[in-house]
Amino acid sequence: MNSVKWIAITESLDNDINNTAATDIHIEEKVASDIQVEENVASNIRIEVKENATNLLYSKTESVNLISIFGPARTGKSTLMNILAGVNDYDNEIFKTSPDMETVTTGVDISKTFVPLKEFSKLNGNPEINNNTLVGFVDTEGQGNNGDEFDIYLFSPILVTSKIVIFWWPGLLQIDTILNSLGAMTNCAKRITRDTQCQVG
C-alpha cells in the first residue's frame, strides 16, 4: 500500500451532541508540524493530522494539487481513487480495498506518490498541460457510519486543502440529502482558522 494516514479521530464522539452550526473549528500548529483540529469541549471531537503525512506534503518543492473523494461507506471510493492514480495492478494498489462489504478506510489517507500534472493531464488522450504542479490523491472514510457530526468534522479540513473534491454518490440521486451534506461541510469548513502560517521548504 502506497498511502499514509493523514487525518484520524483521536477522541470518542458523543453522538447526542449536534451543535456543529455554532462551532468554530481551530487548527493549532504544533512545533513538530503536528496540526490538530480542536473544537468546543461539548462535542468531544478531536481530529489529529499526522506529522509524517504533513511532512510528506511540505517536502515537495513543487505546488501540489490534491484530488479528494468523499461519499457513503462501502461504495467503491478507494477503488475509484486507485484508478484515477493510474493503478492497474491491485497487488500494488495505493489505497487498500476489499471485495467484501467491510469498511477498509478509516480517517483520511493520502498517497505517498504524486503524479506530475503534465503526465496526469495526458490520460485518455487529453492535451498535455505543461506545468510543474504535482497531483496527489486523498481517500476518506465513508460517510454515514458514525453520524453527521463526525463526518463534518473529519471532512471539513479536506474541503479547504483540496483542489478537486469528488462527491461520490452511486445509485439513485437523493438531491436533498446531497445538498444538505455538502452545505453543512462547506459551512463548517468556512470556520477553519490557522494560528500560524506554515513555512514550506
Residue 95: partners with Cβ closer than 8 Å, 6 or more residues away: 1, 3, 78, 81, 82, 105, 109, 111, 137, 139
pLDDT for 192 equals 65
What is the β-pairing status of strands 108-111 and 193-194?
A: unpaired
Dihedral Cα 69, 185, 134, 111, nearest 10 deg: -50
Q: Is the pLDDT of residue 150 over 50?
A: yes
What is the dotted CATH code of the domain comprising 3-194? 3.40.50.300
Spatial neighbors of 164 by CB under 8 A, at least 6 apart, are: 65, 66, 67, 68
Higher pLDDT, 151 or 37: 151
Task: Report the SS3 class of residue 22.
Answer: helix
- Whole-number pLDDT of residue 58: 86
Residue 66 pLDDT more than 90? yes
Q: Measuring CA to CA, how many Å separate 68 from each of 16, 30, 91?
A: 29, 25, 22
Q: Is the pLDDT of residue 125 over 50?
A: yes
Average pLDDT over residues 73-100: 83
Say whether pLDDT at 12 is over 80. Answer: no
**Residues 147, 5: Cα–Cα separation, whole Å:** 21
CA-closest candidate to residue 110, choices 94, 93, 97 = 94
CA-CA distances (angstroms) from residue 135 to 24, 42, 58, 113? Answer: 30, 37, 14, 9
- Categorize the per-residue pLDDT at 134 as very low, low, confident or very high, splitting at 50, 70 and 90: very high
What percentage of the chain exceeds 90 in pLDDT? 10
Confidence band, pLDDT 50/70/90 cuts, at residue 101? low
- pLDDT-based confidence at 186, cuts 50/70/90? confident
Angstrom distance (rounded) from CA 114 to CA 137: 8
Is residue 126 within 8 Å of residue 146, measured between CB atoms? no
Cβ(134)–Cβ(113) below 8 Å? no
